[in-house]
């Protein structure tokens, strides 16, 4: 809801209020962001600026006592007395950096904001937008509009700005953030998602301190180094309680966010396109729209904040065709075959996958051109007939005949010099004339600022999509941009942003306009471009090339803070894991991957009969709980920091929960399971999800418990392991919602003193999962029970 009284603007979502007012001088003064409040009289909330402070600069001679530096603002410029970090740097027609935008008028429109000509994606769906229009005092034709879009039900406010040059001369934009606002206190901890290849989105926290803390990327993409999302936690806030303010950007290019603690302990927050190498010429008559930033507040801790963001992404970011659509279970051949496959091998993999319940076969890298390794072929989107003599049409037909869907990998933004494309168009690759370019994975990036390059990509990918029955595309992008330069641009300061606009255009033309039902999964060496911009086109993203279950806990935990599980592509792969050589139990690999869009990325032929049987059960379980797992409300808690972690998803009286042993210590601490989504006054049945234990895991202990002598590395043990396994800790409880919220006692873990079927044998990286179902009309009676489930 947007309410305006006099000069006060009050934006309300279901649980939050965001309030600002116009000052007499025409600047927008930030007043409040937090829990929804009924107040209309702002005098108690407004920051008191009773007298001037030393070394502040008055706004004007006749406004003594009014300094922009001590006012909490909604946006700011340069050169009028505000010495904090500015969200905007313009070079005005007079050559100066000084601007002074003052209120001109405002307007409220129904619906979300979208800057049509900009080519940027914006959030869609039910919303209301306030447009606050300011004019520069000297160049009145130059207007700055702050757009506020209220997504009421999910407690999210979208922010972006438009700069319009209605004057007669051009100006330059060096920096134009999507939003800014100041808060009266700075006592927060900043949480960011940082990492690199195979270790994306690890959570890091640091106290906000004097000066400026920046979270940005300069790689050309949103990057695996620093995700554009970040949040601020008030003292005492944790997963379940406390104040959290969180921010994200609907943008896939270089991003920049900063928080600045000022000299009176106020806090300035901003986010937008990274000013790094950015210089945009705005000619007379042109306008520039920034990407949309989004923000949300809660006093219910990180889980409640994540719920707001998840809801927002599922309802307003994902394209309508895929909103709340159940995502298929895939098998991807990459880690099973790498580049070395032929039709026979692929069909064998597909047949096995189908037998286990997999719904889609995805053919990864290596199907085109001379792509037998990563040094050649990229750019030539024509099937390799040596590997696939019948072509893609025949392969996809064979897959469909088995009753599965077919998906295909592309990396259309890049080119290997050893390719027909590069031989025909060396000038299409990004490089600076007269300099040797740098290489990433033996490839160069194509210049998507050029129309001919974009047309080539659209045509070549569309030809493949039109030539075979393809229901899914994995769109990969495996390097950062170096040597940025385009011969198509007279101003290289526009390069990075125009590249991303070019990418959005290509994705729109291929997928939104021509193949709207093809499920797009984007990928960039894993999660190197996991952002809201890509999610506007691709409903799911390959989260990381790291499929090690324990590593994935770190990665997915970070991602879930801002992105819903429906967007998180997660595969079970071989053990030892190819990225870490760590051996995690098959049960844990599944217990982690099921909290996302499930897939398998391994050669089922290398598994034992028993493992295949377990996978068949896993897939059946996932399908039975798919809607809950992909769209229920996710929460996490840390029963023992650094040692245990629990993820759980609940909705409508049901939940699936897992508890992971991050590391095992002898004679382990007892485990309790809390179900955060359990409700008072209800009763639930809690059952462990059936999982199995490889008998060989007991190593040399086996000979002590077996009636016959068995060597731990002998033929008998290998036979047993291939064909049998033990059920691992089966538990069953009935508990009230109140008791579940506080925690029920789980079966003991193995502790080296003996074996009992009621033990949970976990060790490092072990885990157990549970289903929780509401029992209607249950009468509680006294029962002693022996505690063994």
> Which residues make up the interface to ligand GLA (CB under 6 A)?
334, 364-365, 409, 476, 478, 523, 525-526, 542, 545
Residue whose CB is less far from ligand GLA, 287 or 578: 578
Say if CB 777 and CB 768 are below 8 A apart.
no
What tokens were used for 640?
């023992």
Cis before 227 (ω within 30)? no
221: nearest Cα among 526, 454, 457: 526
Residue whose CB is less far from ligand GLA, 257 or 544: 544
Question: What strand order describes the sheet that includes 16-22?
Answer: 2-5, 8-12, 16-22, 28-35
Residue whose CB is less far from ligand GLA, 77 or 527: 527
Q: What are the beta bridge partners of residue 149?
A: 129, 158
Residue whose CB is less far from ligand GLA, 290 or 419: 419
Name the catalytic one among 216, 545, 546, 671: 545
Q: What's the number of CA atoms in the CB half-sphere (13 Å) around residue 172? A: 14
Q: What are the beta bridge partners of residue 688?
A: 770
Smallest gap from residue 420 Cβ to ligand GLA (A)? 19
Q: What are the beta bridge partners of residue 145?
A: 133, 162
Residue whose CB is less far from ligand GLA, 123 or 473: 473
In the residue annotation, 100 being an active-site residue is answered as no
Residue whose CB is less far from ligand GLA, 311 or 365: 365
Residue whose CB is less far from ligand GLA, 442 or 706: 442
Residue whose CB is less far from ligand GLA, 599 or 766: 599
527: nearest Cα among 498, 570, 561: 570
Alpha carbon of residue 20 to chain centroid: 30
- Segments of 199-243 assigned E as strands: 202-207, 211-216, 226-233
H or E segment and range at residue 353: helix 343-356
Distances (CA, A) of 138 to 28, 69, 98, 101: 18, 21, 10, 9
Say if CB 317 and CB 534 are below 8 A apart.
no
What tokens were used for 232?
């601020």
3-state secondary structure of 561: coil
* Distance of alpha carbon 683 from alpha carbon 434, whole angstroms: 73
Name the catalytic one among 82, 380, 476, 546: 476
Q: Which residue shows structure tokens 């899914």? A: 472
Alpha carbon of residue 489 to chain centroid: 32
Smallest gap from residue 542 Cβ to ligand GLA (A)? 6
Residue whose CB is less far from ligand GLA, 408 or 769: 408
H or E segment and range at residue 336: helix 334-337
In the residue annotation, 476 being an active-site residue is answered as yes
User: Which residues lie below 8 Å from residue 609, measured CB to CB, with a gap of 6+?
Assistant: 722, 723
Residue nearest to ligand GLA (CB): 365
H or E segment and range at residue 256: strand 255-261
Smallest gap from residue 335 Cβ to ligand GLA (A)? 8
What tokens were used for 165?
């040059």
Say if CB 312 and CB 296 are below 8 A apart.
yes
Residue whose CB is less far from ligand GLA, 523 or 584: 523
Smallest gap from residue 525 Cβ to ligand GLA (A)? 5
* Distance of alpha carbon 2 from alpha carbon 8, whole angstroms: 11
Residue whose CB is less far from ligand GLA, 540 or 688: 540
* Distance of alpha carbon 562 from alpha carbon 557, whole angstroms: 10
Smallest gap from residue 569 Cβ to ligand GLA (A)? 9
* Distance of alpha carbon 115 from alpha carbon 121, whole angstroms: 9
H or E segment and range at residue 704: helix 702-705
* Distance of alpha carbon 240 from alpha carbon 682, whole angstroms: 21
* Distance of alpha carbon 70 from alpha carbon 73, whole angstroms: 9
Smallest gap from residue 462 Cβ to ligand GLA (A)? 21
Question: Residue 298 has what DSSP assignment?
Answer: E
* Distance of alpha carbon 399 from alpha carbon 391, whole angstroms: 13
Q: Give the number of other Cβ atoms within 10 Å of residue 388's Cβ.
A: 20
Smallest gap from residue 337 Cβ to ligand GLA (A)? 11
What tokens were used for 297?
């507040």
Helical H runs in 625-697?
626-631
Say if CB 309 and CB 560 are below 8 A apart.
no
Smallest gap from residue 65 Cβ to ligand GLA (A)? 58
* Distance of alpha carbon 458 from alpha carbon 444, whole angstroms: 18
Residue whose CB is less far from ligand GLA, 100 or 365: 365
* Distance of alpha carbon 219 from alpha carbon 718, whole angstroms: 48
Smallest gap from residue 579 Cβ to ligand GLA (A)? 11
* Distance of alpha carbon 182 from alpha carbon 162, whole angstroms: 20
* Distance of alpha carbon 89 from alpha carbon 493, whole angstroms: 14
* Distance of alpha carbon 120 from alpha carbon 505, whole angstroms: 9
Residue whose CB is less far from ligand GLA, 113 or 334: 334
- Residues with a catalytic annotation lie at 476, 545
């Amino acid at each position: 809801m947007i309410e305006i009284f006099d000069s006060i603007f009050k934006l309300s979502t279901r649980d939050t209020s965001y309030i600002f007012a116009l000052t007499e001088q025409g600047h927008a003064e930030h007043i409040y962001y937090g829990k929804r409040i009924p107040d209309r009289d702002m005098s108690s909330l407004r920051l008191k600026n009773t007298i001037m402070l030393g070394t502040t600069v008055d706004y004007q001679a006749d406004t003594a006592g009014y300094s922009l530096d001590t006012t909490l603002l909604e946006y700011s410029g340069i050169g009028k007395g505000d010495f904090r970090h500015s969200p905007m740097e313009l070079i005005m027609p007079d050559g100066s950096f000084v601007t002074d935008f003052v209120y001109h008028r405002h307007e409220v429109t129904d619906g979300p904001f979208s800057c049509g000509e900009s080519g940027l994606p914006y959030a869609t769906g039910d919303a209301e937008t306030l447009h606050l229009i300011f004019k520069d005092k000297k160049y009145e034709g130059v207007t700055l509009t702050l757009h506020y879009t209220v997504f009421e039900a999910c407690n999210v406010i979208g922010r972006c700005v438009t700069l319009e040059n209605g004057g007669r001369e051009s100006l330059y934009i060096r920096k134009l953030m999507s939003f800014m606002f100041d808060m009266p206190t700075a006592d927060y901890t900043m949480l960011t998602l940082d990492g690199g290849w195979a270790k994306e989105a690890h959570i890091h926290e640091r106290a906000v301190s004097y000066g400026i803390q920046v979270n940005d990327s300069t790689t050309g993409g949103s990057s695996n180094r620093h995700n554009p999302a970040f949040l601020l936690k008030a003292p005492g806030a944790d997963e379940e309680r406390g104040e959290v303010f969180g921010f994200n950007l609907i943008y896939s290019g270089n991003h920049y966010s900063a928080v600045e603690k000022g000299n009176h302990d106020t806090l300035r927050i901003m986010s937008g396109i990274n000013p790094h190498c950015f210089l945009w010429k705005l000619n007379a008559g042109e306008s520039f729209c920034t990407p949309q930033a989004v923000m949300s507040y809660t006093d219910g801790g990180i889980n409640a904040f994540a719920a707001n963001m998840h809801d927002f992404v599922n309802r307003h970011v994902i394209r309508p065709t895929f909103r709340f659509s159940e995502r298929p279970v895939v098998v991807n051949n990459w880690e099973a075959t790498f580049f070395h496959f032929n039709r026979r091998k692929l069909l064998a993999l597909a047949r096995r996958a189908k037998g286990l319940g997999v719904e889609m076969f995805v053919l990864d890298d290596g199907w085109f051109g001379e792509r037998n390794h990563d040094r050649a072929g990229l750019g030539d989107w024509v099937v390799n007939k040596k590997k696939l003599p019948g072509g893609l049409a025949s392969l996809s037909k064979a897959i469909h005949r088995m009753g599965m869907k077919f998906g295909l990998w592309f990396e259309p933004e890049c080119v290997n010099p050893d390719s027909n494309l590069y031989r025909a168009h060396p000038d299409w690759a990004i490089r600076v004339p007269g300099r040797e370019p740098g290489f990433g994975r033996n490839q160069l990036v194509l210049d998507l600022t050029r129309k001919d390059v974009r047309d080539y990509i659209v045509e070549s990918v569309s030809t493949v999509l039109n030539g075979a029955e393809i229901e899914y595309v994995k769109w990969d992008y495996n390097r950062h941009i170096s040597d940025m330069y385009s011969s198509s641009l007279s101003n290289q300061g526009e390069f990075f942003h125009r590249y991303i606009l070019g990418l959005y255009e290509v994705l729109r033309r291929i997928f939104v306009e021509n193949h709207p039902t093809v499920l797009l999964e984007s990928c960039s060496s894993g999660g190197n471009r996991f952002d809201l911009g890509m999610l506007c086109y691709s409903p799911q993203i390959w989260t990381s090339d790291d499929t090690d279950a324990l590593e994935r806990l770190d990665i997915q935990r970070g991602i879930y803070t801002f992105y819903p599980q429906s967007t998180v592509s997660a595969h079970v792969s071989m053990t030892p894991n190819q990225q870490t050589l760590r051996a995690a139990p098959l049960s844990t690999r599944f217990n982690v991957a099921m909290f996302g869009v499930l897939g398998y990325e391994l050669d089922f032929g290398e598994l034992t009969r028993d493992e295949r049987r377990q996978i068949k059960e896993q897939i059946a379980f996932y399908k039975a709980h798919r809607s809950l797992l992909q769209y229920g409300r996710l929460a996490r808690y840390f029963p023992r920091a650094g040692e245990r972690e629990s993820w759980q998803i609940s909705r409508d009286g049901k939940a699936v929960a897992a508890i992971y042993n991050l590391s095992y210590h002898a004679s382990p601490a007892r485990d309790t399971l809390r179900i955060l989504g359990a409700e008072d006054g209800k009763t639930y049945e809690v059952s462990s999800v059936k999982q199995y234990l490889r008998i060989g895991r007991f190593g040399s202990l086996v000979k002590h418990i077996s009636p016959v002598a068995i060597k731990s590395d002998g033929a008998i043990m290998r036979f047993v392991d291939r064909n049998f396994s033990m059920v691992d800790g089966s538990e069953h409880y009935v508990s009230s919602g109140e008791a579940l919220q506080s925690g029920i006692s789980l079966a003991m873990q193995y502790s080296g003193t003996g074996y009992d079927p009621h033990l949970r044998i976990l060790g490092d990286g072990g885990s157990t999962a549970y289903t929780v179902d509401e029992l209607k009309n249950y009468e509680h009676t006294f029962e002693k029970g022996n505690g063994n489930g």
